[in-house]
């Protein structure tokens, strides 16, 4: 059972454009929602994370939007660059239970 | 401050052999997690350990897989009598005390190939 579902599966964006990746979750006990970035042959790197007490969090060009009632959250990459080309994973966990449930990942390709 | 270290980075085993994967957490982190990633898939939780204690092994296959995190030395994920279906990337992550943070920091992974 996939507890966290991502869409779209892959995304092609022009340089300078906005990349948007969506995630939906089912378990209402989840209260920690990170996004990870993974390059080929590397481990996932924590990009940005949000808790449900806020609806949006921004760090540089990366923004998480969170909709608690819809049980959805999304990652926005502003001014996308070729160096952002990677696989992005959303995940979720409950406070005090550090078992991260990952989505299947989205491959983002930024073309010059 | 060195990050999470894993070795070996690549491991090739024949069916029936044993695989041992090692993970050293970030300095100051006392909690270790193991995840498995199959091709084109997300990461799947396997086990959560702290020093000398298994906290949650609900994601571990019932047979052939075991994990430990001794008082001294790295955490070890051990796979006995490997089969082709065990071929995957195995990632270790570490975190500070869970009550302080959910953040997990991942190592570069060990890519296991079973021939």
- Does A111 touch chain B if contact means CB atoms closer than 8 Å? no
Among the partner-chain residues B42, B58, B93, the one whose CB lies closest to the CB of A104 is B42
Looking at residues B26-48, what average pLDDT do you find? 91
Rounded to a whole number, what is the distance in angstroms from the first to the last CA of chain A? 38
Q: Write down the pLDDT at residue A61.
A: 96
Q: Write down the pLDDT at residue B96.
A: 82
| pLDDT, tens digit (0-9, with 9 covering 90-100), for B75-92 | 999 999 999 999 999 999
Q: What percent of chain B lies above the pLDDT cut of 90? A: 80
Q: Compute the distance between CA of residue B98 and CA of residue B56 in angstroms, rounded to an integer.
A: 13
Best mutation target among B31, B43, B49, B113 (most A Cβ atoms within 10 Å) is: B43
| pLDDT, tens digit (0-9, with 9 covering 90-100), for B17-36 | 999 999 999 998 889 999 99
Residue B98 clears pLDDT 80, i.e. is over it: no
Asked if A102 contacts A89 with a C-beta cutoff of 8 angstroms, the reply is: yes
Among the partner-chain residues B40, B95, B109, the one whose CB lies closest to the CB of A98 is B95
Q: Write down the pLDDT at residue A52.
A: 87
Burial A73-108 (b: 16+ CB within 10 A, else e): bbbbbeebeeebbbbbbbbbbeeebbbbbbbbbbeb
Instruction: Looking at the complex, report in whole angstroms how far the Cα of residue B15 sits from the nearest Cα belonging to chain A.
Output: 24
Instruction: Looking at the complex, report in whole angstroms how far the Cα of residue A77 sits from the nearest Cα belonging to chain B.
Output: 20
| pLDDT, tens digit (0-9, with 9 covering 90-100), for A13-55 | 999 999 999 999 999 999 999 999 999 989 999 999 998 889 9
Asked if A99 contacts B34 with a C-beta cutoff of 8 angstroms, the reply is: no
Instruction: Looking at the complex, report in whole angstroms how far the Cα of residue B28 sits from the nearest Cα belonging to chain A.
Output: 17
Chain B residues lying within 8 Å of A98, measured CB to CB: 31, 33, 48, 95, 98, 102, 104
């Amino acid at each position: 059972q996939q507890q966290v579902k991502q869409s779209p599966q892959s995304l092609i964006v022009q340089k300078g454009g906005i990349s948007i990746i969506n995630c939906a979750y089912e378990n209402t006990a989840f209260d920690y929602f990170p996004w990870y970035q993974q390059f080929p042959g590397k481990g996932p790197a924590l990009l940005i994370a949000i808790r449900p007490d806020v609806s949006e969090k921004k760090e540089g060009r990366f923004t998480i939007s969170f909709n608690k009632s819809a049980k959805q959250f999304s990652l926005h990459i502003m001014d996308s660059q070729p160096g952002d080309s990677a696989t992005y994973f959303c995940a979720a966990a409950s406070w005090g239970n550090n078992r991260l449930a990952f989505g299947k990942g989205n491959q983002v390709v930024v073309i010059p | 401050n060195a990050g999470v270290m894993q070795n070996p980075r690549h491991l090739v085993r024949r069916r029936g052999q044993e695989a041992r994967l090692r993970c050293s957490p970030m300095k100051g982190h006392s909690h270790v997690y193991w995840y498995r990633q199959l091709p084109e898939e997300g990461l799947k939780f396997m086990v959560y350990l702290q020093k000398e204690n298994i906290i949650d092994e609900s994601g571990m296959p019932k047979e052939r897989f075991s994990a430990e995190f001794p008082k001294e030395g790295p955490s070890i994920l051990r796979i006995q009598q490997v089969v082709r279906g065990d071929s995957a990337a195995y990632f270790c992550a570490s975190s500070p005390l869970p009550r302080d943070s959910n953040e997990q920091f991942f190592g570069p992974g060990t890519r296991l190939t079973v021939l």
